Amino acid sequence: MESEGGDIIRCATRRKLPRTVCGDRVLWVASNPREGIITRVLDRATTLVRPDHNGRPRPVAANMDQIVVVIASKPSFEYGMLDRYLAAAELIGVTPAIVVNKSDLLDADSHGRLDDRLSLYRAIGYAVLFTSTLSTDGMKDLYAALKGHTSILVGQSGVGKSSLVKTLLPDLDIRVGNLSQVTGLGRHTTTVATLYHLPDGGDLIDSPGVRDFTLCNVEPEQLERGFREFAPYLGQCRFHNCRHVSEPGCAVADAARNGDIAPQRLENYRALVASMKAQT
């Protein structure tokens, strides 16, 4: 735990208190000069949650106001997971942003194709940044986007989240991992979420990488609010309980057919609805 004065204190937590996570604000009492006891976990403004191995909700971090989804050309990513992260951000009321890291691995044609594929996210208001920790391209823009916010970096293992933190805060001793040469997948360099202070204001949480991300504590009827471009059409469907899957007179589906909503986003939404139904 970090005190208001910036001291790092090893703390135990009183029994029956909720599990503390990175970003929590707590009350504590000293038990000796370098140790303490957490007596209360203060209410969280926001909480990012994902299921544990048994499918139970597990908080990842708290009190952030920005979720930065980091993707990269290696390991390859799938847009369904990106949309799940964006939906999670929308549903807990924080600002999402997309960072494409390792842009130095992209030639001009690949960069252009990826930029075109991500243009649909810019069109609906998401910031999309290309970064490289080797060339430092885009790092000033990323720092500016983080300044003054409490942000969490999320994404697959191996996309370079810890490398981004190390480049932003070069004076810190931060471990950086490599992709597995056998699987081409990322290794878990960060094993617990860690909060860092930015010199010009703001905090940055580096979270452990994941193989996948699943929404948690979200009912199918809530999911539509996780897709911000659906908002103008909600309430305009023929049926008040329309789920925008296959119902007749669906205003969201009509908008996708007319090009006002990207068809891929609607497909990913429907796949999410189907997976959520399968879990119940």
| Residue 187 confidence (pLDDT) | 40
| Nearest C-alpha neighbor of 224 from the set 242, 203, 201 | 242
Is pLDDT of 3 > 60? yes
pLDDT for 212-235, tens place per residue? 888 888 888 899 999 999 999 999
User: Are 74 and 202 within one domain?
Assistant: yes
Reported as a single tens digit per residue, the pLDDT across 65-81 is: 999 999 987 667 788 89
Query: Coil, strand, or helix at residue 214?
Result: coil
Same domain membership, residue 34 and residue 169: no
Same domain for 92 and 198, yes or no, is yes
Q: Are residues 175 and 79 in the same domain?
A: yes
Residue 213 lies in a domain: no
Q: Is the pLDDT of residue 205 over 90?
A: yes
Mean pLDDT of 37-42: 95
Q: Residue 21: which domain range?
A: 10-41
Q: What is the pTM of this model?
A: 0.88
CA 212 → CA 5, 156, 215, distances in Å? Answer: 37, 7, 10
Which one-letter amino acid corresponds to residue 216?
Answer: C
Residue of 74 and 40 predicted with greater confidence: 40
Are 32 and 75 in a shared domain?
no
Same domain, 143 and 187: yes
Q: Is residue 146 in some structural domain? A: yes
User: Tens of pLDDT along 93-148?
Assistant: 999 999 999 999 999 999 999 999 999 999 999 999 999 999 999 999 999 999 99
Identify whether residues 198 and 265 lie together within a single domain: no
228 and 177 within one domain: no
Q: 148 Cβ partners below 8 Å, 6+ apart? A: 201, 202
**Which amino acid appears at position 180 of this protein?**
S
| 125 falls within a domain | yes
Q: Does residue 185 register a pLDDT over 50?
A: no
Specify the 3-state DSSP secondary structure of 190.
coil
Whether the pLDDT of residue 184 is over 60: the answer is no
| Cα–Cα distance for residue pair 142/139, rounded to 1 Å | 5
pLDDT bin (cut points 50, 70, 90) of residue 174 is low
Same domain, 125 and 76: yes
Poorest-pLDDT segment among 44-53, 224-233, 243-252, 257-266:
44-53
pLDDT at 151: 97
pLDDT for res 186: 38
What's the domain count of the chain? 3
Helix (H) and strand (E) counts for the chain? 6, 11
Q: What is the mean pLDDT of the chain?
A: 88
What integer pLDDT is reported at residue 260 of this predicted model?
97
CB atoms closer than 10 angstroms to residue 273: 17
